[in-house]
Amino acid sequence: NLPTIYVITPTYARLVQKAELTRLSHTFLHVPQLHWIVVEDSPSPTQLVSNFLADSGLTYTHLHMLTPKDRKLQEGDPHWLKPRGAEQRNEGLRWLRQKAAADGGKGLAFESAVIYFADDDNTYSLQLFEEMRYTKKVSVWPVGLVGAMKFERPVVENGKVVRFHTGWRPNRPFPIDMAGFAVSLNLVSANPEAWFDGNAEMGFLESSFLQNLVTMEELEPKADMCTKVLVWHTRTEKPKMKREEALIKQGLGSDPNVEV
């Protein structure tokens, strides 16, 4: 009777989407009692993601929530200009709160469930999921290859988080990457005002959510008191399409009926 881990993943259509989702799903297939909540940044569910999930072998919920145009990064914008995935994570939270409320009372399965926000391009060790599984309120751990550093992490003294190792604005309420924490579903249900602020200043998206849920003193350090890196903020290179575009001009482009 392991506590369920609800993983919320925002995702959007681009050339590498299916490759990212394939890699991610293969990690999740190794994790017991995991429920994947995939939230597409699209006006409706896409065929690609629908078919992919149906064949994935995972327990999943397929949602969608289009990012409003004024909140979306435009071609050429630096990637840090606006938060990405905020509306989609909120949609996942909305679904979970609703389900928790509907199952309330007899909600034994929810009593100990935990929520994790897993972007589609990061790299996750299997150990990470066992670290987070018994989260009481909010658990935290290091994240590798983030913030232009080898890793960021909460600094632990006498079993408590006392500050954060980060290269930038360490006095943010929670200077912690999305991949660096998990929250209990109970806590999220008990605090219906906790959402991601899609208009948050750069670097404050995680804080906008967490500051309505916990204090630094309450954080539960995992991964050997935050001494182990079990998740990496990897980013995937955008594939070059120069040859493809040249071939399209000659009518020799790759068959558009083949899903990539």
Residues engaged in binding ligand UDP (CB under 6 A): 9-12, 41, 67, 72-73, 79, 84-85, 88, 119-121, 235
Which of residues 64 and 97 has its CB atom nearest to ligand UDP in the complex? 64
Q: Is 40 one of the catalytic residues?
A: no
Cα dihedral 198, 100, 189, 111 in deg (nearest 10) = -130
CB-nearest residue to ligand UDP: 85
The one segment of 61-69, 118-126, 134-142, 214-222 that binds Mn ion by CB under 5 A: 118-126
Which of residues 136 and 169 has its CB atom nearest to ligand UDP in the complex? 169
Phi, psi (degrees; rounded to nearest 5) at 191 = -125, 75
**Conformation bin of residue 57: beta by default, left when phi > 0, alpha when psi is -120 to 50:** left
Which of residues 131 and 177 has its CB atom nearest to Mn ion in the complex? 177
For 251, the token pair is 């009518």
Distances 84 to 21, 58, 104, 153, 178 between C-alpha atoms, Å:
17, 25, 31, 22, 11
Which of residues 110 and 151 has its CB atom nearest to ligand UDP in the complex? 151
Give the shortest CB-235-to-ligand UDP separation in angstroms. Answer: 5
Residues in contact with Mn ion, counted by CB under 5 A, come to a total of: 2
Phi, psi (degrees; rounded to nearest 5) at 201 = -60, 155
Q: Which residue do the tokens 């990539």 mark?
A: 260
Interface pick for Mn ion out of 40, 41, 87, 119 (rule CB under 5 A): 119
Secondary structure element (H or E) that encloses residue 75, with its range: none
For 4, the token pair is 């369920």
Which of Mn ion, ligand UDP, none interacts with 142 (beta carbon under 5 to 8 A by kind)? none
For 194, the token pair is 């906790």
Annotated catalytic residue, options 193, 206, 218, 245: 206
Q: Are 125 and 205 in contact (CB under 8 A)?
A: no
Give the shortest CB-193-to-ligand UDP separation in angstroms. Answer: 23
Which of ligand UDP, Mn ion, none interacts with 88 (beta carbon under 5 to 8 A by kind)? ligand UDP
Query: Which residues make up the interface to Mn ion (CB under 5 A)?
Result: 119, 121
Enzyme catalytic residues:
206
